[in-house]
Amino acid sequence: MKNGGQEIVLEFNLKGADFETAGEASSKIKLVLQQIGVRSDIIRRIAIGSYEAEMNVIIHAYRGKITASISPQQTELLVEDEGPGIADINLAMQEGYSTAPDHIREMGFGAGMGLPNMSRCVDEFSIESVVDTGTKIRMVVRHG
């Protein structure tokens, strides 16, 4: 954890298909937010966004990173992965659309709600993706 004055920066490296550690990054982000006194309704929104992003990296990418930059005013989540990328972002943003393989669905993941949930629970959401390279997502939740 880096603490540059008023901002706390947390970085987590993620490995594709590593379901044993799935959810650890978002749990640690949530814990820090609780420790510094962010309101519980705000923490819930950040936790949903970070968990959905973390799971998308684990399900779809080879590897990735989540960076949470927490200031008194807001939390910014940057998620970057190396993976197959998303060919049609508009289609991927539709509830229920998923490219997750059957074995992932059998584990209870890949219902096609990750990106829509991320977008819905944050104040700012942007996504960029390059096929055969990877995806970058930026989410911001204001604490006020």
Q: Which domains does the chain have, with CATH numbers?
A: 2-142 (3.30.565.10)
- Examine the pLDDT at 4 and tell me if it is beyond 60: no
Candidates 55, 53, 93; CA nearest to 77 is 53
Q: Residue 1's pLDDT is what?
A: 47
Helix 24-35 with 40-60: angle, nearest 10 deg: 160
Q: Residue 125's pLDDT is what?
A: 98
How does pLDDT run across 71-121, given as a tens digit for each residue?
Answer: 999 999 999 999 999 999 999 999 999 999 999 999 999 999 999 999 999
Q: What is the mean pLDDT of residues 9-36?
A: 97
Q: Are strands 2-4 and 124-130 parallel, antiparallel or unpaired?
A: unpaired
Dihedral sign (CA 24, 28, 31, 37): negative
Average pLDDT, the chain: 95
Q: What is the pTM of this model?
A: 0.94
d(Cα 66, Cα 51) in Å, to the nearest integer? 10
- Examine the pLDDT at 2 and tell me if it is beyond 60: no
- pLDDT category of residue 5 using cuts at 50, 70 and 90: low
Strand partners, 136: 80, 128
How does pLDDT run across 43-68, given as a tens digit for each residue?
Answer: 999 999 999 999 999 999 999 999 99
